[in-house]
């Protein structure tokens, strides 16, 4: 699935490309002269910008349809290759007890004094392949914001719902984690 901003860039690119090319097609069909160099250069520039904006989303779409993988965004975890849509050059590896590294809703707190030997604590909810049944809070700890160690008590809670919808998703589950730091209670 392509990200919204990728699709939006592709649409803007197509719009610019069509606009610039239609200028030249109009001039050619109606035998209008092309003596105004400033407009001609502007339209060529718009066509190049439009083509450039359209190229990346089109390439990603073709790769998605063909099933080819861009190896620069592949992480190997538990012997499986997982394609990421990372914004960073390296992905944070946050392993859950469910055998995945797909997490959402991160919440990080920096402590004044380390707690249990760690200055940074993060709460996330795993969300492997969009299955809400696994969206249960996990805690990770770090001293450098790059290497995160899972808490031994993960997951902090499991769904308590006895009712499930048609997709086998619990009607009640524990998503949207927030981690807070209360100096008065820690000291």
> Average pLDDT for residues 38-64, to the nearest whole number?
88
Phi and psi of 151, rounded to 5°?
A: -70, 145
Check: pTM over 0.85? Answer yes or no: no
Q: Over 70: is that where the pLDDT of 84 sits?
A: no
| pLDDT tens-digit readout, 99-133 | 888 888 888 999 988 989 999 999 998 888 777 77
Beta bridge partners of 108: 122
The reply to whether omega before 155 is within 30° of 0 (cis) is: yes
* Per-residue pLDDT at 55 exceeds 80: yes
Residues 6 or more apart whose CB falls under 8 angstroms from that of 138 comprise 94, 96, 97, 103, 123, 124, 125, 126, 150, 151, 154, 155, 156
pLDDT-derived band of residue 47, with 50, 70 and 90 as boundaries?
A: very high
């Amino acid at each position: 699935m392509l990200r919204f901003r990728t699709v939006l860039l592709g649409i803007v690119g197509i719009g610019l490309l069509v606009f610039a090319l239609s200028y030249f097609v109009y001039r050619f069909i109606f035998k209008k002269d092309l003596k105004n160099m400033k407009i001609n250069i502007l339209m060529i520039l718009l066509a190049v910008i439009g083509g450039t904006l359209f190229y990346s989303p089109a390439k990603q779409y073709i790769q998605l349809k063909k099933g080819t993988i861009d190896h620069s965004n592949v992480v190997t975890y538990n012997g499986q290759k997982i394609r990421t849509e990372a914004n960073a050059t390296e992905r944070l590896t946050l392993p859950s007890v469910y055998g995945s590294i797909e997490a959402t809703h991160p919440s990080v707190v920096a402590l004044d004094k380390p707690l249990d030997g760690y200055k940074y604590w993060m709460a996330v909810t795993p969300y492997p392949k969009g299955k809400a049944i696994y969206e249960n809070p996990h805690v990770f700890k770090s001293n450098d914001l790059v290497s995160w160690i899972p808490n031994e008590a993960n997951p902090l809670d499991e769904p308590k719902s006895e009712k499930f919808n048609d997709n086998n998703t619990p009607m009640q589950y524990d998503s949207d984690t927030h981690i807070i730091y209360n100096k008065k209670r820690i000291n």
